[in-house]
Chain A
Amino acid sequence: MVRDQTLGNRVTDIVLIVILVGITLSCVLPIWYTLSLSLSSNSAAAAGQVWLWPVDFNLNAYGQILNDSQFFRSFWISTQRVLLGVSLNFIIVALMSYPLSRTAAQFKGRNVFMWILIFTMLFNGGLIPLYLTVKELDLLNSIWALVLVGGAQTLVFNIILTMNFFRNLPKELDEAALVDGAGPWYTLFKIYIPLAVPVLATVSLFSIVYHWNEFLYGLVFMTREQFYPLQTYIQQLVVSVDPSTMSEDQYRRLAELSNRTLDAAKIFIAMLPVLIVYPFLQRFFIHGITLGSVKE
Chain B
Amino acid sequence: MKKKSSLLALVLACSVVMGACSNAGNNTPPDQTGTPDNNTSANTEPADPFGRYEEAVTINVGIDVDPTDNELPAGDTPMDNQYTRQIKEALNVDVNHHFAASGQNYRQRISLAIASNDLPDAMVVNAVELRQMVEADQLADLTEVYERYASPEIREIIESTNGAALNAVTFDGKIMGIPGVQANADGYHLMWLRKDWLDKLNLEPPTTMAELETVARAFVEDDPDGNGQRDTIGITGPESGGKLYANFLESKNNLYGFDPIFSAHHSYPGYWLEGEDGNPVYGSILPETREALASLRDLYAKGLIDPEMAVRNKADEPIIAGKSGIFFAPWWMGYGPLTNAVRNNPEANWQAYALPLDESGVFNAHIATPSTDFVVVRKGYEHPEVAMKLSNNLLKQEQENTFDPSKGGPGYYPLRVVHAPSDEIEFTVEATRELLAGNKTAEDYQDAKTYKLLQSDLASIKSIKNEPYDVLDIETWNPEANWGAWTRSYSIMVGGTPLVDTDINEVPSLIYEQTPMMESRWVNLRKIEDETFLRIIMGAAPLETFDTFVEDWKRQGGDQITQEVADALAE
A and B touch in the complex (CB under 8 A): yes
A binding-site residues for B, Cβ under 8 Å: 43, 46-48, 67-70, 127-129, 131-133, 135-137, 219-220, 223-225, 228, 233, 236-255, 257-258
Q: Is the CB of B336 within 8 A of A251?
A: yes
C-alpha spacing A124/B431, complex, angstroms: 61
Q: Is the CB of B10 within 8 A of A133?
A: yes
C-alpha spacing A225/B411, complex, angstroms: 15
C-alpha spacing A237/B102, complex, angstroms: 10
Contact residues in B for A136 (Cβ distance below 8 Å): 10-11, 13
C-alpha spacing A10/B98, complex, angstroms: 68
Q: Is the CB of B70 within 8 A of A67?
A: yes
List the B residue with the shortest CB-CB distance to A263.
B68
List the B residue with the shortest CB-CB distance to A127.
B112
Q: Which of B37-45, B161-169, B246-254, B459-467 contacts A (4 or more CB under 8 A)?
A: B246-254
Q: Is the CB of A223 within 8 A of B100?
A: yes
Q: Is the CB of B409 within 8 A of A250?
A: yes
Q: Would you call B437 an interface residue if the criterion is a C-beta within 8 Å of the partner chain's C-beta atoms? A: no
Contact residues in B for A132 (Cβ distance below 8 Å): 10-11, 13-14, 116, 118
Q: Is the CB of B372 within 8 A of A245?
A: yes
Q: Would you call B340 an interface residue if the criterion is a C-beta within 8 Å of the partner chain's C-beta atoms? A: yes
Q: Is the CB of B321 within 8 A of A46?
A: yes
C-alpha spacing A223/B313, complex, angstroms: 26
List the A residue with the shortest CB-CB distance to B316.
A255
Q: Is the CB of A242 within 8 A of B182?
A: no
Contact residues in B for A246 (Cβ distance below 8 Å): 253
> Pick the contact of B69 from A69, A133, A220, A257 — CB < 8 Å?
A257
- Which positions 63-105 of chain B face chain A at CB distance < 8 Å? 65-71, 78, 97-105
Contact residues in A for B320 (Cβ distance below 8 Å): 46
C-alpha spacing A255/B372, complex, angstroms: 22
**B32 → chain A closest CB, angstroms:** 29
Q: Is the CB of B372 within 8 A of A249?
A: no
Q: How large is the interface on B (under 10, 10 to 19, 20 to 34, 35 or more residues)?
A: 35 or more
Q: Is the CB of B112 within 8 A of A239?
A: no
B binding-site residues for A, Cβ under 8 Å: 10-11, 13-14, 65-71, 78, 97-105, 107-109, 112, 115-116, 118, 126, 182, 240-241, 243, 246, 250-255, 313-314, 316-317, 320-321, 323, 332, 335-337, 339-340, 344, 372-373, 405, 409-411, 418, 487, 491
A-side interface mostly: helix
C-alpha spacing A225/B255, complex, angstroms: 28
- The 8 sampled A-B contact pairs (Cβ below 8 Å) are A132-B14, A132-B116, A242-B107, A248-B335, A252-B335, A252-B487, A255-B336, A258-B314
**A214 → chain B closest CB, angstroms:** 15
Q: Is the CB of A233 within 8 A of B13?
A: no
Contact residues in B for A254 (Cβ distance below 8 Å): 66
Q: Is the CB of A128 within 8 A of B112?
A: yes
Q: Is the CB of B68 within 8 A of A257?
A: yes
Q: Is the CB of A252 within 8 A of B336?
A: yes
Q: Is the CB of A244 within 8 A of B182?
A: no
Assuming the contacts A133-B10, A249-B335, A249-B409, asked whether A241 and B100 have C-beta atoms less than 8 A apart, the reply is no
Q: Is the CB of A241 within 8 A of B411?
A: no
Q: Is the CB of B344 within 8 A of A249?
A: no
Contact residues in A for B66 (Cβ distance below 8 Å): 236, 253-254, 257
C-alpha spacing A127/B113, complex, angstroms: 12
> Pick the contact of A133 from B11, B240, B411 — CB < 8 Å?
B11
Q: Is the CB of A224 within 8 A of B99?
A: yes
Assuming the contacts A46-B317, A128-B116, asked whether A244 and B372 have C-beta atoms less than 8 A apart, the reply is yes
Q: Is the CB of B336 within 8 A of A239?
A: no
C-alpha spacing A136/B372, complex, angstroms: 33
